Chains A and B, each alone.
Chain A
Amino acid sequence: MADLKAGTRMKSAVCATEVMVIAAARPDVALTCGGAPMIGMAAEPAAGAAIDAEHAAGTLLGKRYVNEAGDLEVLCTKPGDGSLAVDGEPLVLKEAKALPSSD
């Protein structure tokens, strides 16, 4: 399992999802997608792995996902069919801030 820190990119082992870590207060948490641990961008997913039906809500491109404690935030850079969780707790969609366009 890779250490999670801001800027780290990871991909799902069971679907097309890719994320970039925006903020991670603790490096040693277990980030999963589709129920399986996420892997480094260069790693090959194990053959035959499938999405756990409990973790199949999907991810949306460009959305941010956070845990309840607010100490982990990831950005979805490629969407997929699996959904994200950390230490078994599902990540939730972070509400977009309504900022006026300044440029």
Chain B
Amino acid sequence: MNIMMLLEMAAQGFGDRVAFVNEDDSLTYQELYDAAGAAAAYIRQSGCEYVAMLDVTSLAMPVALFASAWAGVPYVPLNYRLTEHEIKGLVERVEPALLITETDCTRDFSGHEAVQVVTRDAFLTRARSAKALETPWSMDAEDIAVLLFTSGTTGAPKAAVLRQKHLVAYILGSVEFGGAALEDASLGCVPPYHIAGISAVISSVYSGRRVVQLANFTPEKWIELVARERVTNAFVVPTMLARIIELLDADSAAQLSSLRAIAYGGGKMPLAVIEKTIQLLPQTDFTNAYGLTETSSTIAVLGPQDHRDAAASDDPAVHRRLVSVGRALPGVEIQIRDDEGQPASAGERGEIYVRGEQVSGEYVGRGSLLDAEGWFPTRDAGSMDEEGYLFLEGRADDVIIRGGENMSPGEIEDILLEHPAVADVAVVGIPDEQWGEAVAAAVVLKAEHSAGAAELQAWVRDRMRSSRVPQSLEFWDELPYNETGKLLRRIVKEKLST
């Protein structure tokens, strides 16, 4: 198996269709296939063992992804928002590398003999003019397709290994070949070093959907592109959606009339944001996707009908599904396990385990974390209701253990968010001599609202067990999030602990 087989099918089935658009430039499926072949020859010739991409989204990204697969070399996207020191540290882990980077890249790799730097433009020009590699790609399903450094919200980045078999299984399990209509267009604005940015490229290719690339997300640019390119599908992370709807009212939302479907994921979606979006875009379908780098992207979805049923229901258990991440994809099994490692009952909180052909669960230098039966411990905490709807409740490592009592930060955060003055909140455990850990909260107040620590503590005390009341509570201007909308709890914890 090889993701190149998927591109070959697309080039065969609809080679003349436009695959990727970036500003005034574009590639059809046949052009993408040809460019991947030529770039594969270049990669082989360079003698590199990894192809690293340090750049914003561009046409070079899908070319490099497929070319790496053709050449049989892992593709390694790097987060260009990291510091120069961090980036160099990651590059050293993938030498000898061909490093594709932006034209105006000022970063200096001259001291790194095992790193060949090529600019995005030079790489693309070469891919579009040279001849394709004559040897076919390997069909060894065990070949590594992508090495992805995980975001490291809890420590140093780990290099997750995604093999050809994982990515191909994900696509074959979730995408219909050529399923996109001719007028379909999706807006790609997820960072190219994020698993959702990679899986979106392969999904779009297999479905035959035109991708409009947006390199640097701003809500203004996003709205303009949707309107101009008549975009029908878009994937956003919660923080992006929150910024987009801030700019919209009932009238201006009309310019997004082409938008048939929005998928979101990558972090917790605040109920207020999704409710307002549904109101502003009544003609749009919503899908919430939950997945991890280690699972080749999506493993559970809350589909459009689930959204409508939940939004319309008076039954609190059904209405609550609006904030769930839905049910497991076909071919994926999800299980919640309690502290003893036993399957949890419906509604009971525990750690989320996942199993399926798309699940890798492997890191460089650590091997596979799958257990004997193939289950991967996600380290995400959650619960599942009777009908299999999955609810996320933070990271398993985020559990606060106060005097032997386990509590989830999420449940306390949800209560505080119900307070009319609270805009955002993070609850963490901080070291405490008496209890081992104590509950602490960082609160962001809404503009023109006020509330004191005592008032918020009383708010929690009236609604939950007294052990849940934050012992210390600080007011901050904003909480630290990474660029995909994940709360950086490690940082909150550090700040609240001092």
CA distance A78 to B298 in the complex (A): 28
A2 CB, min distance to chain B CBs, angstroms? 13
- Give the residues in chain B near A103, CB-CB below 8 Å: 190, 196, 199-200, 203, 235, 263, 289, 297-298
Contact across chains for A96 and B179 when beta carbons are under 8 A apart = yes
* Interface contact A99-B5, CB-CB below 8 Å: no
Is the Cβ of A97 less than 8 Å from the Cβ of B176? yes
For B179, the chain A residues whose CB sits under 8 A away are 96
**A20-B5, A101-B233 known; A96 vs B176 contact (CB < 8 Å):** yes
- CB pair B172–A22 under 8 Å, yes or no, is yes
> Contact between A62 and B330 (Cβ–Cβ < 8 Å)?
no
- Residue A67 at the B interface, CB < 8 A? no
Point out the residue from B174, B177, B190 that lies within 8 Å of A63, measured CB to CB. B177
- B1–A20 CB distance below 8 A: yes
Does A11 interact with chain B (Cβ within 8 Å)?
no
Tell me the smallest distance from the CB of B394 to a CB of chain A, in Å.
22
Chain A CB within 8 A of B329 CB: yes
Give A99 to B304 CA distance when docked, in angstroms.
10
| B285 on the A face (CB < 8 A) | yes
Let me know if A49 is at the binding interface, CB within 8 A.
no
A7–B165 CB distance below 8 A: yes
Q: Is the CB of B285 within 8 A of A100?
A: yes
Q: Is B303 part of the binding interface, using a Cβ–Cβ cutoff of 8 Å?
A: yes
Least CB distance, B324 to chain A, in whole angstroms: 14
Chain A hits for B190, CB < 8 A = 103
- Which residues of B sit under 8 angstroms from A36, Cβ to Cβ? none
Chain A 21-55 interface 0/1 with B at a Cβ cutoff of 8 Å (1 = within): 01000000000000000000000000000000000
Q: Contact: B178 with A62, CB < 8 Å?
A: yes
Between A and B, how many residue pairs show CB distances below 8 Å? 71
Asked whether, in the complex, the Cβ of A100 is within 8 Å of the Cβ of B176, the reply is no
A61-B297 in contact given A22-B172, A77-B5, A102-B289 (Cβ < 8 Å): no
- Determine if B329 and A99 form an interchain contact, defined as CB atoms under 8 angstroms apart: yes
Contacts of A63 on B, CB cut-off 8 Å?
177
Q: Indicate if A75 sits at the interface (CB-CB under 8 A).
A: yes
Q: How many Å from the CB of A20 to the closest CB on chain B? A: 7
Known: A7-B165, A9-B139. A100 touches B9 (CB 8 A): no
Query: Residue on A with the closest CB to B180?
Result: A101
Q: Could you say which residues of chain B place their CB within 8 Å of the CB of A102?
A: 174, 235, 263, 265, 287, 289, 291, 297-298, 301
Which among A7, A75, A97, A100 is the interface contact of B141 at CB below 8 angstroms? A7
Alpha-carbon distance between A62 and B7 when the two chains are bound, in angstroms: 11
CB atoms of B330 and A97 under 8 A apart:
yes
**Chain B neighbourhood of A99, CB < 8 A:** 174-176, 301, 303, 329-330
Establish whether residues A61 and B1, one from each chain, have CB atoms under 8 Å apart when the complex forms: no
Residue B207 CB within 8 A of the other chain: yes
Judged by a CB distance under 8 angstroms, whether B223 is at the interface is no
Contact A75 B172 (CB under 8 A): yes
CB proximity to A under 8 Å, residues B289-343 = 289, 291, 297-298, 301, 303-304, 329-330
Known: A7-B1, A62-B9, A99-B175. 11 other contacts (CB 8 A): A20-B5, A99-B303, A100-B285, A100-B303, A101-B207, A101-B233, A101-B263, A101-B287, A102-B265, A102-B291, A103-B263
Question: Which residues does A use to contact B, with CB under 8 Å?
Answer: 7, 9, 20, 22, 61-63, 75, 77-78, 96-97, 99-103
**Which B residues lie at the A interface, using CB under 8 A?**
1, 5, 8-9, 12-13, 139, 141, 165, 172, 174-179, 186, 190, 196, 199-200, 203, 207, 233, 235, 261, 263, 265, 285, 287, 289, 291, 297-298, 301, 303-304, 329-330
